[in-house]
Chains A and B, each alone.
Chain A
Amino acid sequence: MNPYLLIVLLTSLGLGTALTLSSTHWLLAWLGLEVGTLAILPLMAQPHHPRATEAATKYFIVQATAAATLLFAAINNAWLQGHWDIQHMSHPLFTSMITLALLLKLGLAPMHTWMPEVIQGVSLNTGLIVSTWQKIAPFILLLQIKQIHPPLLTIIGLASILIGGWGGLNQTQLRKILAYSSIAHLGWMVLILQHSTALATFALLIYIFMTSATFITLKKCKATTINMLTTTWTKAPTITLVAPLMLLSLGGLPPLSGFAPKWFILQELTQQNFIPHASIAALAALLSLYYYLRLSYSITLSLSPNNLPECLQWRVNYPISTPLSSALPAALALTLFLLPLTPSALTLII
């Protein structure tokens, strides 16, 4: 892609999210969401391939519908209550409608079906943007509105944790697995959203670090299926060593930083006497852990059944430093070692 065009598109992506984050008026929030959607479409449709076009079309239809529904609810709220403030919205029907529209934009459980298909159709770089940066704006809007029906978000959160686990079990495509893992993580955030917004923001932050590390690693390995991961040791031995730890951090195992949000969310839920919800969420995280373990098994713990010369690459890849690959060490460090720093990170957010 033309670098000037790329700069314009990436700047508009940043502008859209910044506009949404800094607005108190529903119209400006909607404008920011639209700018973000319109800016990422050329990035998605840029490879001339039917899959990329299809992914861009699906993403466009879903995001445009969600944005229109959001604005419809905001206008109706303005007709009934006479103001456009995000934080003072209090009509029950239209608050629920806006919540559902934002959940559709995020890709949570009953409205999640676009997410694996879109991530599967785009390149790993664009998939990184879709599953991290594009989640920020709708999530912050979701944090700001007052929730009127508490069971709505609880049910949707639990359903997305379960579906994110179950959906990824049968997949061999890495990008679909990552999409389901993203659905499950967003389910955890939505589950805790109405009890503690600080914890939800913290979980989003950790999720962004972990997902960027995973996408950049896969980009480095040039892998899109599980089979292609088995020859990682010939391409990047260091990644072979670190990748299982990164995946277990996504799964939420103790000494790694992915454990922190799950730990605090479970603690908060138990403190507020939502013990069944906490149990279901903790047990459903095992489903996600299964496919992370399968990925780390095929990266590190097993050799591919090929004979040895076939595992080697035809050409030696000299390490080329791209901006993304130079961000890999930082993302990996944040993914693996953030747990001891959790108290100070939480005080930063609260």
Chain B
Amino acid sequence: MTPIQMTFSTMFLLGLMGLTFHRTHLLSALLCLESMMLSLFLATSLWALQLSTINIATVPMLLLAFSACEASSGLALLVATARTHGSDHMQNLNLLQC
């Protein structure tokens, strides 16, 4: 395992752990998701740099575009949640529990 791979794996896993263990605000969950996507962007762009081929260089752009779409729909859902539930606390999302 190279140091670069070690670095982005740690970034991703820290983001994932933040998403799973720190469950107070929806906004922090979205931030953790975004950090996971950014570490993936780093991984693909470094992969493209290391291979120095041109046809793999579009991968980070595609990834960034899709993660932007994901982040924007996440923020739209954050606004919708704030309007229907009054705040962005994850504890308020309990209408559908058994």
| Chain A residues engaging chain B, CB cutoff 8 angstroms | 27, 31, 34, 38, 41, 45, 48-51, 53-58, 60-61, 64-65, 68-69, 71-72, 75-76, 78-80, 116-118, 120-121, 170-171, 176
Contacts and interface: CB of A to CB of B under 8 A. Distances in A.
Contact of B73 (A31, A60, A76): A60
B77 interface: yes
A170 B97 CA distance: 13
B81 A71 contact: no
A57 B77 contact: yes
A65 B74 CA distance: 12
Among A53, A56, A121, the most chain B Cβ lie within 10 Å of the Cβ of: A53
Nearest to A37: B70
Interface string B46-90: 010000000000010011001001100110010011001100000
A49 B84 contact: yes
Contacts of A51: 95-96
Contacts of A120: 96
B47 A72 contact: no
Contacts of B1: 80
B66 A41 contact: no
A6 to B, nearest CB: 17
Contact of B98 (A68, A75, A171): A171
Contacts of B36: 65, 68, 72
A76 B95 contact: no
A53 B80 contact: yes
A57 B81 contact: yes
Given A68-B40, A117-B96, A50 B85 contact: yes
A176 to B, nearest CB: 7
B81 A54 contact: yes
A34 B26 contact: no
A117 B77 contact: no
Contact of B80 (A45, A68, A116, A170): A45
B82 to A, nearest CB: 10
Contact of B70 (A27, A49, A57, A64): A64
A118 B77 CA distance: 14
A34 B64 CA distance: 12
Contacts of A69: 16
Contacts of B37: 68
Interface string B6-38: 001100100010010000001001000100110
B43 A79 contact: yes
Given A57-B93, A117-B96, A75 B73 contact: no
Given A31-B66, A53-B81, A60-B74, A116 B98 contact: yes
Given A31-B62, A76-B5, A121-B96, A68 B81 contact: no
B42 to A, nearest CB: 10
Given A45-B80, A68-B36, A79-B47, A54 B93 contact: yes
B43 A65 contact: no
B23 to A, nearest CB: 10
B84 A75 contact: no
Contacts of A176: 98
Nearest to B77: A57
29 contacts: A27-B59, A34-B66, A38-B69, A41-B77, A45-B77, A50-B85, A50-B95, A51-B96, A54-B85, A54-B95, A54-B96, A55-B96, A57-B93, A65-B19, A65-B36, A68-B36, A68-B37, A71-B40, A72-B43, A75-B40, A76-B5, A78-B47, A79-B2, A79-B47, A116-B96, A116-B98, A117-B96, A121-B96, A176-B98
B84 A117 contact: no
Contacts of B69: 34, 38
B40 A65 contact: no
Contacts of B26: 57
A49 B93 CA distance: 13
Contacts of A54: 81, 84-85, 93, 95-96
